Structure 1
């Protein structure tokens, strides 16, 4: 018996954790303002990349700026890299 669409989709999503040379990928499902969405489309179009690619570039660039400003072996460094911590 063949698999249902839902079963195939579930298997595909399960494989994404080990995609990209074993580094994996994470699913992001969110709502954003129309203004932010339109800006993302414009910026991605300007650089000729997908919206996903542009969002990844922007996030990684900001992360690099933050990390560059932190000193290793400090509470600030440890706090920034504490996964799952909500910082406000």
Structure 2
């Protein structure tokens, strides 16, 4: 029996969610941002010759790394930071 478009899309999203070396996959973000943010992201991506997704990932990972480097792994701040809900 053939799958509906919705069923194929659901299966595709499920595969993406568990793909990868660690089985952790990817997560989908669905949000609205201001025109200013979208235009700035496009400029940054063009400047560094990457996609907007790659640029956003770089910015987020670098910001997160900067915070984590300043935290003591045995501190309450570390625990609070890593208990942020997804």
Where do 5+ consecutive residues of structure 2 fail to align? none
- State the partner residue of 1:55: 56
Cross-structure match for 1:18: 18
Task: Output aligned runs, 1:39-78, within 5 Å.
Answer: 39-78=40-79
The ranges of structure 1 where at least 4 consecutive aligned residues each deviate by more than 6 angstroms after the TM superposition are none
**Could you tell me which residue of structure 2 aligns to residue 7 of structure 1?**
7
TM-superposed CA distance for 1:60, in Å, is: 0.2
TM-score calculated relative to the size of structure 2: 0.92
SS in 2 for 1:17: helix
CA distance in 2, matches of 1:33, 1:68: 30
Aligned alpha-carbon RMSD (Å) = 1.2
User: TM-score of the superposition, structure 1-length normalised?
Assistant: 0.90
| Count of residues in Structure 1 that have an aligned counterpart in Structure 2 | 85
Structure 1 gap segments, 5+ residues each: none
Task: Determine helix, strand or coil for the equivalent of 1:48.
Answer: coil
